[in-house]
Amino acid sequence: MKRISLFGMSLIVLFSSCAKSIVTEEEFPIVEQALEDFAGQLGTTLADKDALSLAISGYLESHDKAFYGSTVTVLDSNGAAAYSPYVYRHKNGFIHTDELMNPSYDINNQAWLRAPIDQGQSVWSEPYFDEGGGEVWMRTRSVPIYLGPVIVAVATTDVRVKKP
């Protein structure tokens, strides 16, 4: 039996009512809380790339179309990305990919990953156009995941926003 919180159900209702799936700044606190909750529940799932990918799918599925994509980048002992399964919505369902680990992407120097590691706190990206991906304006919320005093992963949620 899956346990669903009242807060989680209110997220589904709120975002299901967004016809164009655009998240407004007033809704950012809901995105922030949802990602914090998701990151806090990962625990041992971080050690299993396939289980992590499935957890990300479940997270996205529980938030309808308002949450476009998500990754959890697990860091190695040197603080570099060890793996980063990315899941995003497509008209025919979810796409699971390891494209963020492509050397040409240079994941370890991406602001969405570096900022929460360097600042030790959750951050929002500036709006950007997801060219070649969703072809929409987006923002990314990034949350560091700690094991004791050490950041061991960074979880993200990509949401669609209005063109700035």
Q: Specify whether the CB–CB gap between 154 and 117 falls below 8 A.
A: yes
The amino acid occupying position 95 is: I
Q: What pLDDT, on a 0 to 100 scale, did the predictor assign at position 134? A: 78
Q: Supply the mean pLDDT for the chain.
A: 87
Q: How far apart are CA 51 and CA 68, in angstroms?
A: 20
Tell me: the pLDDT tens digits for 43-65? 999 999 999 999 999 999 998 78
pTM value is 0.86
96 contact partners, CB below 8 Å, separation of at least 6: 53, 57, 85, 86, 87
Share of the chain above pLDDT 70, in %: 88
Which amino acid is present at 31? V
CA dist list (Å): 3 to 35, 98, 155:
17, 30, 22
Q: What is the pLDDT of residue 92?
A: 83
Q: Which CATH number fits domain 6-160: 3.40.50.2300, 3.30.499.10, 3.30.450.20, 3.30.470.10?
A: 3.30.450.20
Does residue 112 have a pLDDT over 80?
A: yes
* Residue 33 dihedral angles phi and psi, to the nearest 5°: -65, -40
pLDDT of residue 15: 38
User: How much is the pLDDT for 65?
Assistant: 80
Three-state DSSP state, 136: coil
